[in-house]
Amino acid sequence: MDAGKGRKSALTTPARSYSLTDDGNISYRTNPSFTGSGISTQKGTADALPSDIDLYAPNGIINAGDAGISSSGFVYVGALEIRGVDNISSSGEIKGLAKPAPSVATLAVETKDKAAADAVRDAAQQATPGDRPSVIIVEILGYGGGGDPARDGDEDERRRLGPRSDAAGDSLQPRYDTRSAVQVIGAGALGDDERRYLTPAERRSLADAGAEEGTPGGR
């Protein structure tokens, strides 16, 4: 079933019709003109009722062609194959046409839109403080060790012992344990820091002993 290749701008003017009355009078009527070609139902007057188009080719093809198929009412079609779907128009609904498959370009745009939406959603989830990954920077200042064990032991021992003075009065490390309950004062010349631990009587005794030996502060 083919609508043909006629022009849509073609003008069709039906012949005038006439009628004869009982008393012998003849009246003529000019019918309205129609435009277009193909398969069409049009309203000749403004008060005319819309007309539907029913086309069925159960074992064949319906081809709208270049002329097209148009209706002032509904269009009902049914066939194994319908061609020229974009050239079928109706003032009402068109029944029997399969839904057009989406084009490749449309699918590509939808895929890109979905990918962009997924990226925005992932970025929003990563921006949540509870889900944000933490970065810990560790700066190592030293691993310890690396020195002379014997020397390190001597340094620790000297730090553990309190101050002392030698015969020349120079400040040296003491030879007794400052952590002991018994503290020895006077292993050499006493400085001001050591004298403050003495009682007044001890200071006098120390001064007397130093006067006898001829040294200030005793030994």
Q: Domain boundaries in the chain?
A: 1-13+30-106, 149-213
Q: What is the mean pLDDT of each run of 10 residues along the chain (219 residues)?
A: 86 84 86 84 85 92 90 92 90 82 61 74 65 71 61 59 49 53 61 74 77 53
pLDDT of residue 174: 47
163, 165, 214 from 217: Cα distances, Å: 16, 12, 9
Amino acid 103 reads: S
pLDDT for 12: 81
Amino acid identity for residue 127 in this structure: A
State residue 62's pLDDT score: 92
Tokens standing for 208? 């007397």
145-160 b/e with 16+ CB inside 10 Å = b? eeeeeeeeeeeeeeee
What's residue 54's pLDDT? Answer: 93
Question: Can you tell me the distance from the alpha carbon of 182 to that of 179, in angstroms, rounded to the nearest whole number?
Answer: 8
Kindly report the pTM of this predicted structure: 0.40
Burial class (CB in 10 A: 0-12, 13-18, 19+), 48: exposed
Q: Give the model's pLDDT for residue 178.
A: 57
